[in-house]
Amino acid sequence: MKIRILLVAVVVFLSMIKFANAQEENKELGVTFDFTYLSKWLSKGAEPYGQQGALFKSIDVDFYGSGFGVIAIHRNATRDNADKERFDFRPYYKNMAFEGQPYAMNYNLSAGYEYYPGLARHKSYTTWEWIFAFSWPNLLPEGFVPGYVAHYEYAAGENYTKQNGADIPSGWVHRFILGYDLNIPELPNPLHLSSEVAYTDGLGGAEHDWSYATFGLTTKFDITGNLSFIPGVYQQMSMEDSVNSQDDITYTKLSMRYKF
């Protein structure tokens, strides 16, 4: 407990320094609203909503360019019911290390509290999820960016269970990512090609194995200086039945994003 309190104190102290420096530089509070429709929601390879689509609504607050921020997300199935509506609250810190070097590294560290408001929190898969995300924009030839994301999820409290009373298995998912921005004269912004392969390490009680690979195409259309439309199409190939028994899944993602 003392170690946790010390860590929180250090984070708060560093936050205050960052905020003070950012305000001295006259940086502004950043707020981004996002509304996203998915024809199918794939969460770390699994299908939480089955054959239904999903709607995501989020508010991302960036504290004066300090690197600290918080994002709140509400998600629900397109045919809504209580056990499919979820809120996530996720404070984060992002920055770059070794700036200007070939091994420059972007990183984003966050902790998310995830719960279902229509159900009792102690028996509805209420969890904490830590996400450690890294990318290296200068490591490969121009346009190629490798990345790595690690997810660790566990029950949010003692005796918290699933709806059926079973324990919530903690575990990791490791995602290895490669992206490429392809410039096409007919498009106002690059066509982003993404690929990833994931290793599921016990999360949700799944086997410890390579679980899926996903390939995607996305781009962005700027409607105004603040409003953007971001369409995407993805193909997932599942490799581990304990994560997803569907071999091939194609889905679309359509986002409207407004940034102050």
Q: How far is the C-alpha of 109 from the C-alpha of 116, rounded, in Å?
A: 23
Q: How far apart are the first and last CA of the chain?
A: 39
pLDDT digits (tens, 9 = 90+) for 164-177: 888 999 999 999 99
Domain layout of the chain by residue ranges? 30-259
* Structural fold of domain 30-259: Porin (2.40.160)
Percentage, residues of the chain above pLDDT 90: 75
Q: How far is the C-alpha of 42 from the C-alpha of 50, rounded, in Å?
A: 9
pLDDT tens sequence for the chain (260 residues):
444 444 444 454 455 555 555 555 657 899 999 999 999 999 999 999 988 999 999 999 999 999 999 999 999 999 866 678 999 999 999 999 999 999 999 999 999 999 998 888 898 889 999 999 999 999 999 889 999 999 999 999 988 998 888 899 999 999 999 999 999 999 999 999 999 999 999 998 899 999 999 999 999 999 999 999 999 999 999 999 999 998 899 999 999 999 98
Query: What's the pLDDT at 14?
Result: 52
Q: Which two tokens stand for residue 63?
A: 């504290």
Paired sense of beta strands 105-115 and 127-135, if any: antiparallel
CA distances from 98 to 14, 103, 104 (A): 19, 7, 5
According to DSSP, the residues that pair with 221 across neighbouring strands are 229
Question: Taking the CB of residue 67, how many other CB atoms lie within 10 A of it?
Answer: 19
pTM above 0.95, yes or no: no
Q: Which of 176, 108, 101, 107 is nearest to 138 (CA)?
A: 101
